[in-house]
Amino acid sequence: MKFGKEFVSQMVPEWQEAYLDYNSLKALLKDLLRFVQTRTPTSMASTPNGSALNRRVSLYRAFSGLTSRHRESPRAKEDEEILVSEDGEDGRYHTFVTVLDEERGYEVKFFNRLDDEFNKVVRFYKMKVKEVVEEADELSRQMDTLIALRLKVDNPMVDFGDGPNCVVHPINGRRAGGQHMDVIEEVEMLENLERGENEPKTRKQEANGGIEGFKPPQLEILEHVKINVKPKTPRPTLKGCLNSDKQDLSFSKKELRKAEEQMKQAFSEFYQKLRLLKSYCFLNQLAFSKIMKKHDKITLRNASKVHLHMMETSYLGTCDDVTRLMERVETTFIKHFANGNHRKGMKTLRPTARREKHGSTFFLGLFSGCSVALVVAIIVLIHARGLLESEGRDLYMENIFPLYSLFGFIVLHIVVFSANIYYWRRYRVNYSFIFGFKKGTELGYRQSFLMSSGLAVLALAGVLSNLDMEMDPRTKTFEAWTELVPLGLVIVVIGIILCPFNIMYRSSRFFLIQAVVHCVCAPLYKVTLPDFFLADQLTSQVQAFRSLEFYVCYYGWGDFLKRSHNCLDNNVYKTFYFIVAIIPYWIRSLQCLRRLVEEKDGMQGLNGLKYFSTIVAVAMRTSFDMKKGMTWKILAMTSSIVATLVSTYWDIVIDWGLLQRNSENRWLRDKLLIPNKSVYFVAMVLNVLLRLAWMQSVLGFREAPYIHRTALVAIVACLEIIRRGIWNFFRLENEHLNNVGKYRAFKSVPLPFNYYHDEGKSR
């Protein structure tokens, strides 16, 4: 792989604009090369021997500018024509080309762009280093409080001496009084004090007067702290509505465990930030070195000498704050959160990426092939037996088809989501960060498609077993075991999802269960993106919820052996048929209400009204399905048209960020991930058309040639699932671009403690 592609593949997606623009600099060098070739077509650089020599030499010079010294160039006089200076006021670097001719004009353009890019990188790196240093100070204060809380919980009667120099900052290596100490020495001294040992003084300790004045963290700090533990259940939310938000420390083990878990997560996230920042520094240095060597190869000059020296002496090459912070975080984390176990601590700080296994690819191909074979077998049997003209056709479509359509909706949704994952990865949308997946546990498109193909095989095999249309003439019933196959499949699927054992992607299953619980208990939980994203998926699965309701009625009160039921005449069934269609939209409305209260964002209130209009439309359509009549039809059409217009506008303008009249890409948005702009216009048109698919139920198109009413309902439901899949991609693309615009590459981890003065003023 060429360096340009490797450079792009290793970028932090949200920081892409802050990296050295290697491709644009390379394009400028190509312009310079074309000029050199037209001016000196028979130069030595173009001869076979010269080309081979230059290539052979370049093999041994990769990145040598950062580690080795350059020999004196035979064209030292020409090298003096290029000078680099640093502006003392703003710290910007400027390149001066003293000799101006036509070739130098190309070089001036190249060096001006190079200066801009390098200054951009240095400026961004300075900003990020400043942020992590400030975050390290805050983590140090939090760690002081956690250590003091540990001591207080372990021994409530203990009391240590006072004085400002007693508090230890494990990360930044400083005492509160300002004396600088090495973090490893601090940790060792704390261990010695805990064991009651007296180690020989080091030179640094002797210079600082020994360790007699060193003490464990003072407990007085706990008097200026309040707990800020994120609620894991709805109970704290309910208590917070009745009582004050202030939660004083009660020095309980439960509080300690929650604080330790939050601090562990905060350290892990902070360490990942440091790793990516270090990678950012190295990649830009490497790109800078590569582009300068390309320049020297084209011009046969040694201009990289002064530029690599400039890079080595700049903030990018001399600042080692990130490396020192990484070492201190590793030491602190291993000491306080891994019981001194280095391997365990580093495994948490540096989780390994999920490896693609050959077994997954094999079973994916196997299940996909089996699914196709089963579909062909079902079509052949239907045609061979003439089942479409059979007397039991209507009985089958009214009773068995709704049972298996549930699996069709689930399989289609997973397939569409697999395609979403594939294109998110292709266009470098950081979906793992957006959803908050733990690194190494997120599913790829292969794993997701494997689940859908496996479920499809089970469902299609069940359909094949239930294709009998005629009853047994002796018993007037169907076989019990085949009629119970759909119910057995539902039990198997639910059992797999709830399985507590570490099989079949347990972390992803538990993540899904947690999001479902948060949706069901809305608005008692804080709303995160996975929660409302899942709730939006549920709004496209209304027909699946109605299929589940049909399962309960069919197997609970119907005669499944005779394939008969009276669910449509049951008032309780009609009531729940109405309710289950509204529940997903009601959940989203409550989530918008919670975000409106917490975030004070008026757009969330408008979003809640959008879902409320959809609730009204669904209620009117459902009432029209049950009661008929011109009045209900008019109400259903009016409410549905209003809801469709509002939802379509919100999808395209708010969720996707498109239809911006004054953007760089007219009627789209400034930043686009897909190069072909027509894709966005096609997606907008499809969104409108697929949203209008439900109109067949309002306008009375309930039957179509050779298509049963239940099949037509299933087709419309599938179209809504496909529309949701299209919405998923562009919704996450817009979220990713918003993160890119704010350079937001890490999730915000709430810290467990808040500090305030004696007067109660928070700080």
Count the alpha carbons within 13 Å of 760 in the hemisphere toward its beta carbon: 3
Is residue 637's pLDDT more than 60? yes
190 in any annotated domain:
no
Number of structural domains in the chain: 2
pLDDT score for 590 = 95
End-to-end CA distance of the chain: 51
pLDDT for 643-663, tens place per residue?
999 999 999 999 999 999 888
More confident residue, 239 or 21: 21
Mean pLDDT of 498-509: 90
Banded model confidence at residue 242, pLDDT cuts 50, 70, 90? low
More confident residue, 221 or 261: 261
Last residue of a domain, one of 330, 350, 370: 350
Question: Residue 257 pairs with which residues in a beta bridge?
Answer: none
Is residue 66's pLDDT more than 50? no
Q: Report long-range pairs for 676-681 (Cβ below 8 Å, ≥24 apart).
A: 680/730
Is residue 184's pLDDT more than 80? no
Banded model confidence at residue 366, pLDDT cuts 50, 70, 90? very high
Question: Residue 83 pairs with which residues in a beta bridge?
Answer: 96
Banded model confidence at residue 156, pLDDT cuts 50, 70, 90? low
Banded model confidence at residue 168, pLDDT cuts 50, 70, 90? very low
φ, ψ for residue 252 (rounded to 5)? -100, 160
Omega within 30 of 0 (cis) for the link into 523: yes
Selection from 76, 142, 79, 113 nearest residue 752 by Cα: 142
pLDDT score for 78 = 47
More confident residue, 700 or 499: 499
412 in any annotated domain:
yes
Banded model confidence at residue 46, pLDDT cuts 50, 70, 90? very low
Pair (336, 473) in one structural domain = no
Mean pLDDT of 117-126: 91
Pair (595, 651) in one structural domain = yes
Lowest mean pLDDT among 177-191, 510-524, 547-561, 662-676: 177-191
- The pLDDT > 70 percentage for the chain reads 77
Mean pLDDT of 600-608: 92
Banded model confidence at residue 552, pLDDT cuts 50, 70, 90? very high
336 in any annotated domain:
yes
Pair (366, 338) in one structural domain = no
650 in any annotated domain:
yes
Pair (283, 323) in one structural domain = yes
Is residue 218's pLDDT more than 90? no
pLDDT score for 458 = 95
Last residue of a domain, one of 328, 350, 372: 350
Mean pLDDT of 405-419: 96
- The H or E element spanning position 714 is helix 709-741
- Alpha carbon distance 760, 279 (integer Å): 42
> Among the ranges 42-51, 429-438, 624-633, which has the highest mean pLDDT value?
429-438
127 in any annotated domain:
yes
Mean pLDDT of 302-320: 85
Is residue 510's pLDDT more than 50? yes
Lowest mean pLDDT among 220-234, 268-282, 416-430: 220-234
- Asked whether the beta carbons of 539 and 548 are under 8 A apart, the reply is no
Pair (325, 401) in one structural domain = no
Pair (573, 686) in one structural domain = yes
pLDDT score for 317 = 86
Pair (108, 228) in one structural domain = yes
More confident residue, 565 or 488: 488
68 in any annotated domain:
no
Give the DSSP per-residue string, 501-569. SS-SSHHHHHHHHHHHHHHHTTTSSPP-HHHHHHHHHHHT-HHHHHHHHHHHHHHHHSBTTTTB--GGG
Mean pLDDT of 336-359: 82
Pair (308, 417) in one structural domain = no
Is residue 199's pLDDT more than 80? no
pLDDT score for 724 = 95
Give the DSSP per-residue string, 246-313. --B----HHHHHHHHHHHHHHHHHHHHHHHHHHHHHHHHHHHHHHHHHHHHHHHTS-THHHHHHHHHH
φ, ψ for residue 211 (rounded to 5)? -115, 15
Q: What's the chain's average pLDDT?
A: 80
Pair (674, 562) in one structural domain = yes
667 in any annotated domain:
yes
pLDDT score for 347 = 86
- Alpha carbon distance 209, 173 (integer Å): 17
Pair (310, 362) in one structural domain = no
Pair (370, 238) in one structural domain = no
Is residue 697's pLDDT more than 80? no
Is residue 749's pLDDT more than 90? no
Banded model confidence at residue 68, pLDDT cuts 50, 70, 90? very low
Mean pLDDT of 689-717: 75
More confident residue, 693 or 342: 342
Mean pLDDT of 487-493: 94
Banded model confidence at residue 303, pLDDT cuts 50, 70, 90? confident
Is residue 424's pLDDT more than 80? yes
Note the pTM of the prediction, 2 decimals.
Answer: 0.81
Pair (323, 435) in one structural domain = no
Sign of the four-CA dihedral 623, 624, 629, 631? positive
526 in any annotated domain:
yes
pLDDT score for 1 = 63
Q: Which structural domain, as residue segments, surrounds residue 505?
A: 358-741
pLDDT score for 99 = 53
